Amino acid sequence: MESALSSWKVVRATWLTQRPHRFAWFVAAWSVFLILLASTFYWNNYLGAAEWMPASFQAVFKQGQYWRLWTTLFAHADLGHLLSNSLLFFIFGYFLNGYFGALVFPLAALVFGGITNALVLSTYPPTVKLIGVSGVVYWMGGMWLVLYLLLDKQRTWVQRILRSVGVALGVFMPSTAFDPQISYQAHFVGFLLGIVCGFLYYFLRRKTFAAAVVTETHYEEPEVKIERAETEWDN
């Protein structure tokens, strides 16, 4: 009786093995440039930007100036604050736009940046101002890590989890020195919203992502043992 062939599948391609959109770097770079330009307006108070760009509970919820939830994303305290956000903003912007399009970045990133600010400001004293794009950066990071975890099927679940957790701890965990000028709450809320959005986005496009997976089946024929029967003749 012949033994059955043993087989196993190898994933050769996924959604993430394709090349990112060729204009992704351009979108990410221009997004950083616009933040730099707007921050320059804020620092120099051009057109009164220092007055109408920042967001606070009083201005947003008491005075109904909801547009501040988004203009404040483009204001930064100083150049160091801006540079600390710009690198990750560019990297995650490149990946999110390159693999998932403008709907995710910059559109969804900006929308949820404003939502993050609204949630955080609702817990702040009325006159405390919240500025900067760090909440968006953390949203982008949470979104990307979840999508990487679910899409990189060329690696095992353990490998993907270790990579995702390693990046999250190395990049997003706050330093031991507490800085009162940093809104850690905005970081947490943005990251949490990014994780939720990542799972929802994957669920909505799961069929498209599954169609991009290419597998290759390998077969191995087991060794056949041949037993020889020896007959002894009595002389």
In a domain, residue 85? The reply is yes
In a domain, residue 139? The reply is yes
Q: Round to whole Å and give the CA distance between 140 and 159.
A: 21
Region 28-36: mean pLDDT is 95
User: Is pLDDT of 232 > 60?
Assistant: no
Q: Round to whole Å and give the CA distance between 199 and 201.
A: 6
> What would the pLDDT profile of 111-148 be if each residue is shown by its tens digit?
999 999 999 999 999 999 999 999 999 999 999 999 99
In a domain, residue 87? The reply is yes
Region 202-210: mean pLDDT is 96
Helices assigned H by DSSP within the chain: 24-44, 49-52, 57, 68-71, 79-100, 109-121, 134-151, 157-167, 184-204, 206-211
In a domain, residue 117? The reply is yes
Q: Round to whole Å and give the CA distance between 171 and 34.
A: 24
Q: Give the count of domains, the chain.
A: 1
In a domain, residue 227? The reply is no
In a domain, residue 21? The reply is yes
In a domain, residue 33? The reply is yes
Residue 125's domain comprises: 6-173+181-220
Q: Would the pTM count as exceeding 0.85? A: yes
Per-residue pLDDT, 217: 76
In a domain, residue 47? The reply is yes
Indicate which CATH number applies to the domain containing 30. 1.20.1540.10
